[in-house]
């Protein structure tokens, strides 16, 4: 019988230390500058590409770690460095997962390398699902994809919003509706290749946090893509639509996961790990500060009021990491998520990150409120974790529905 252990093996420790070194030496020192500039940190992405952290190979290696801990470990360390820059480095991964989850081998081989470019000419990719009227309610998306059989082309029209790397990406992965009568079961994902006419960037958002990550609207006006850009291919789509129509005609039945939901599900524990990274970073700053800052003739950590907060912060961060690791291990071992453990990990870790970073600001007093100290930025950054990849409310809905089997609203 396999021994139970939470110890990382030597290879994992080596990778973790290597990523941590990059986060400490390259990401963290650049964090304040790119947060102020509110621009994509291309030079940092390029550095990451040079050392091999920004590449499909790197993610594939972590993804195929048989313990499942490769991705959460990498995310925690990168986001410990800085959330905005780290999202600029890993944002392409969301689009890549969209292709890995739904694409054919040929599509994976053709498009994923183009998403990353190479160290001399780095590229980024965007995953575009959300729309102005379809955020939590993904099924409401209106972007249409219509097949032009004569030309074997798909024609896409609609407006996407909140797209990480939207408009600056080489490759955009766009979720669109091919059969509006089927709701989310009528969705499909498409590759929009670099420089395709009709795709343009709408407004770029000025954000509260993760400001080094580019977030924008993407407008699609009569965007024509070859038939080969439908992820999974036409035959598979037609089969899937036929099954969905049959089920609809029979009054429902077995649930079918739509393309966007499959992508989000696979990425939730990874988002939890990002939140753990930000929380741990803020906790470490607060611990050091509490040990050195003196008031009333002694370090402020001498007060239980401060020390107990730090004890709670660390306890919650460790608990969050364990939930993330459990979900990641379950995913890689093919264990069914019977209690929505992936959503649980994202829900808990994201709420811990918000709470812990707020406590860190408080522990640093006036300094915590300034941009001279990183906890102010970490607190702003942490707010994203309870919003993207499904808000906390949506995670609770998913968990409650899974536990009860009831259609809770
Ligand atoms: C910085 C950033 C980056 C992002 N990157 C991407 C990306 O790369 N690609 C992409 O496709 N999307 C992306 N998103 C979109 C993100 O996933 C959505 O913002 C998120 O799903 C919430 O949708 P919404 O903003 O429309 O909020 P809404 O869905 O309008 O929700 C508003 C509030 O109502 C609550 N609510 C909604 N429905 C219910 C319900 N049934 N029960 C209880 N409460 C409910 C929500 O929890 C929330 O508190 C990004 C967003 C941000 C801010």
Residues 184 and 158 in one domain: yes
Spatial separation of the C-alpha atoms in residues 247 and 241, rounded to whole Å: 10
Q: What distance in angstroms lies between residue 139's CA and the mean position of ligand 1's atoms? A: 13
Q: Indicate whether 4 belongs to any domain.
A: no
Mean pLDDT confidence for 319-325: 97
Closest CA to 65 of 127, 1, 10: 10
Residues 185 and 69 in one domain: no
Task: Convert 319-351 into a string of H (helix), E (strand) and C (coil).
Answer: HHHHHHHHHHHHHHCCCCCCCCHHHHHHHHHHH
pLDDT digit string, tens, across residues 201-227: 999 999 999 999 999 999 999 999 999
Mean pLDDT confidence for 255-281: 76
How many folded domains does the chain comprise?
Answer: 3
**To test the ligand 1 pocket, which listed residue (96, 387, 399) has its Cβ within 8 A of the most ligand atoms?**
387
- Cβ 234 vs Cβ 152: under 8 Å: no
- Cβ 256 vs Cβ 244: under 8 Å: yes
pLDDT band at 260 (very low <50, low <70, confident <90, very high): low
Coil, helix or strand for 125?
strand
Is the CB–ligand 1 distance for residue 260 below 6 Å?
A: no
Residues 96 and 160 in one domain: no
Mean pLDDT confidence for 46-75: 94
**To test the ligand 1 pocket, which listed residue (87, 136, 399) has its Cβ within 8 A of the most ligand atoms?**
136
Residues 105 and 32 in one domain: yes
**Could you say which of 249, 275, 298 is where a domain stops?**
249
Residues 200 and 288 in one domain: no
Q: Which of 46-50, 315-319, 327-331 has the lowest mean pLDDT?
A: 327-331
Indicate which CATH number applies to the domain containing 73.
1.10.540.10
Q: Indicate whether 1 belongs to any domain.
A: no
Q: With 80 as the cut, is the pLDDT of residue 352 above it? A: yes
Mean pLDDT confidence for 177-187: 93
Residues 286 and 150 in one domain: no
pLDDT score for 182: 93
Q: Indicate whether 290 belongs to any domain.
A: yes
Helices (H), 38-104: 42-51, 56-63, 70-81, 83-102
pLDDT digit string, tens, across residues 38-58: 999 999 999 999 999 999 899
- Cβ 260 vs Cβ 188: under 8 Å: no
Is the CB–ligand 1 distance for residue 278 below 6 Å?
A: no
105, 217, 389, 393: the catalytic one is 389
Q: Is the dihedral of CA 335, 275, 174, 138 positive or negative?
A: positive
Q: With 60 as the cut, is the pLDDT of residue 172 above it? A: yes
Domain range for 155 is: 125-249
pLDDT score for 1: 59
Does the annotation count 76 as an active-site position? Answer: no
Residues 296 and 393 in one domain: yes
**Could you say which of 60, 88, 122 is where a domain stops?**
122
Mean pLDDT confidence for 334-346: 92
């Amino acid at each position: 019988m396999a021994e139970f252990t939470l110890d990382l093996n030597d290879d994992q420790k080596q990778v973790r230390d290597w990523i941590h070194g990059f986060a400490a030496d390259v990401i963290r020192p650049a964090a304040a500058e790119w947060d102020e500039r509110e621009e994509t940190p291309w030079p940092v992405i390029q550095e990451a590409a040079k050392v091999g952290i920004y590449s499909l190979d790197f993610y594939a290696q972590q993804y195929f770690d048989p313990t499942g801990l490769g991705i959460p470990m990498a995310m925690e360390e990168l986001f410990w460095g800085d959330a905005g820059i780290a999202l600029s480095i890993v944002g392409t991964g969301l689009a890549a997962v969209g292709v890995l989850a739904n694409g054919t081998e040929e599509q994976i081989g053709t498009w994923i390398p183009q998403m990353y470019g190479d160290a001399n000419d780095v590229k980024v990719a965007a995953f575009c699902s959300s729309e102005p009227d379809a955020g939590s309610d993904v099924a409401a998306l209106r972007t249409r994809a219509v097949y032009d059989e004569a030309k074997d082309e798909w024609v896409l029209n609609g407006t996407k919003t909140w797209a990480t790397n939207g408009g600056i990406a080489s490759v955009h992965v766009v979720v669109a509706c091919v059969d509006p009568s089927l709701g989310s079961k009528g969705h499909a994902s498409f590759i929009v290749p670099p420089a395709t006419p009709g795709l343009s960037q709408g407004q770029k958002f000025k954000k509260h946090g993760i400001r080094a990550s580019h977030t924008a609207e993407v407008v699609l006006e009569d965007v024509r893509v070859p038939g080969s850009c439908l992820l999974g291919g036409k035959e598979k789509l037609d089969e899937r639509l036929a099954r969905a129509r049959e089920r609809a005609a029979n009054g429902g039945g077995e649930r079918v996961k739509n393309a966007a939901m499959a992508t989000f599900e696979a990425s939730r524990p990874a988002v939890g790990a990002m939140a753990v990274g930000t929380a741990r970073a803020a906790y470490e700053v607060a611990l050091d500060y509490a040990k050195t800052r003196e008031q009333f003739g002694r370090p402020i950590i001498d007060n239980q009021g401060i020390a107990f907060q730090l004890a709670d912060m660390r306890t919650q961060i460790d608990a969050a990491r364990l939930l993330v690791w459990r979900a990641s291990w379950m995913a890689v071992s093919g264990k069914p998520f019977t209690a929505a453990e992936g959503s649980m990990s994202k829900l808990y870790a994201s709420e811990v990150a918000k709470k812990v970073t707020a406590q860190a600001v408080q522990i640093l007093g006036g300094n915590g409120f300034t941009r001279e100290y990183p906890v102010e930025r970490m607190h702003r950054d942490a707010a994203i974790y309870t919003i993207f990849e499904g808000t906390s409310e949506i995670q609770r809905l998913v968990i409650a529905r899974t536990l009860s089997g009831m259609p809770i609203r």
